[in-house]
Chains A and B, each alone.
Chain A
Amino acid sequence: MKVENKFKTFSLAATWAWMFFFALLPFALVLTASFLSHSDTQLLELPLTLNNYRNLNHGIYLRIFENSIIIASTSTLICLIIGYPFAYIITRLNGYLKSLCLMLIIIPFWTSSLIRSYALIAIIKGKGVLNTVLIALGIIHDPLPLLFTNTAVIIGLVYNLLPFMILPIMTNIERLDHRLVDAARDLGANRFTTFRRVIIPLSMPGIIAGCILVFLPAMTLFYISDILGGAKSILAGNLIQNKFLIAENWPMGAALSIVLTLMLIGMILIYLWASRGNKSGEWL
């Protein structure tokens, strides 16, 4: 008995140890901080207070969250629409071509996302590449006002987060049992029906994983909204960054983070509850 469980003990111990120190402890620190106060000389100090949470009950914070959710969801949806077919096509390629294609997606992301965002600016700005080409071709007469708008922010988010949608979907479609697909076709389903009723439900875990990995950063990548959006609206990420680094109101920043986390957990729980009848998605 003892010999057999050596592996189990080791992996349990390693997992718990790391999670304790670097997930639980920091989270506990943030939770504690959200109940503390601050002053001119101390970042965090007693007395304990509920003020930080009370202050959140201000219309402005609801609007900020609402705005962030809209932009994040739009970006996630676009990533899904573009990324799913892409992932599907690539997984159907043969081994060598597939790994090559995969690497070609990843390589751009080994350069600084900041520099790539500046490249995006260079493309969409008034005198940028896009406008110069479109005007030269006579398609438009005045430059498109893309820069410093919400559209620019969404473009930036999609550009930076697309691989995070593609990779999980890929690993999921990889192991799709194609006998099921063949069986459906044999039973007379056309391609569209097969796709809708067999492939999509089976790849749901991958889709969910991809959406989570895109939606969350989309809420918190403040520098994209700053340089592409002209910093004209505050997203959740900007707000928290502001509280920690500029307003130096760490307790408030902590409270905001807790609320953001709870909200996202809530959304995921709602999704899980809604899909509880759907057994094909055995995800966490």
Chain B
Amino acid sequence: MKLQTISRTSYLTLVYLFFYIPIAVLICYSFNNTQYSLVWQGFTWDWYVELFHDSDLWISALHSLILGLSAATLATAIGMLAAVTIYRYRFRGRGFLYGLIFILILSPEIVMGAALLILFTLLRFPLGFITLLLSHTTFCIPFVIVTTYGRLVSFDKNIFEAAKDLGATDGVIFKKIILPMLWPALAAGWLMSFTLSLDDVIISYFVAGPEFDILPLRIYSMVRAGVKPEINALCSVLIFVTLTLILLSQTALRKKS
């Protein structure tokens, strides 16, 4: 048993190293005393100072956060409904719905972005937060459906029959049986959607308007202008904040149980 624990722990550590070494490099370079070079040139706090003064960057970061939270939640809600609907019910056009979901999954982001832009233009809908929200939700939904459905498939269908025999309506079945059992899959789907939304550049590029600036687009333009280390500083701060929040919440949860 000990050998198994050691080998498992080492494997986990290796993979985590793979994930985090670039992050460590990213953080180190936020102190790099150079504007363009990707080689270490000396230590400086300059980029953090500049970051502190760059209010536009913070605003776009906040925008991205709001967008991510809304899109992930909306996508999880709709995706869950869609997955449950397909799983439970036989209805006309079920196969067609499968097809649509497939298409969503398979569409390259470029295509979705362009198509959505055309759609919004035809509807004369101004580009801004709402178009971003609708677009982000749309590309997140397939991920929620995929994770949710994979879990639904494992349920023992007899439970539903039993509940129905006992007189439960579909709504009650959903609330009291399906939802609790789906919880991990929904959490996974929400997390993936939030992550995707925070980082999406391609689709956002097409459907973003001038008044709601989001972080990924801003980073893209800053990289071109050559002020990268400031972005490293921002990313370092974000990582630090999220890590702290996670650890705090985990400690709090642990105390509870």
A residues within 8 Å of B by Cβ? 3-8, 11-12, 14-16, 18-19, 21-27, 29-30, 33, 82, 85-86, 89-90, 96, 99-116, 118-123, 125, 127-129, 159, 162-164, 167-168, 170-172, 174-175, 205-206, 209, 212-213, 216, 219-220, 222-223, 236-237, 240-241, 244-245, 250, 253-254, 257, 260-261, 264-265, 268, 282-284
Contact = CB atoms under 8 A, between A and B. Distances in A.
A29 to B, nearest CB: 5
Contacts of A27: 100, 103, 107, 115
Nearest to A284: B98
B119 interface: yes
B184 A8 contact: no
B220 A114 contact: yes
A23 B111 contact: no
Contacts of A244: 110-111, 114
Which 8 pairs across A and B sit closest by C-beta, in order of nearness? A26-B115, A7-B171, A7-B170, A119-B22, A220-B108, A22-B138, A257-B111, A119-B26
Given A11-B85, A15-B97, A86-B15, A171 B188 contact: yes
A82 B243 CA distance: 24
A30 B111 contact: yes
Contacts of A171: 147, 150-151, 184-185, 188
Interface in B210-257: 215-216, 219-220, 223, 228, 231-232, 235, 238-239, 242-243, 246, 250, 253-254, 257
Interface string B83-116: 0110011010000011011111111111110111
A166 B11 CA distance: 14
Nearest to A264: B106
Nearest to A241: B110
Interface of B: 8, 11-12, 15-16, 18-23, 25-26, 29, 38-39, 78, 81-82, 84-85, 88-89, 91, 97-98, 100-112, 114-116, 118-119, 134-135, 137-138, 141, 143, 146-147, 149-151, 153-154, 169-171, 174, 184-185, 188, 191-192, 194-195, 198-199, 201-202, 215-216, 219-220, 223, 228, 231-232, 235, 238-239, 242-243, 246, 250, 253-254, 257
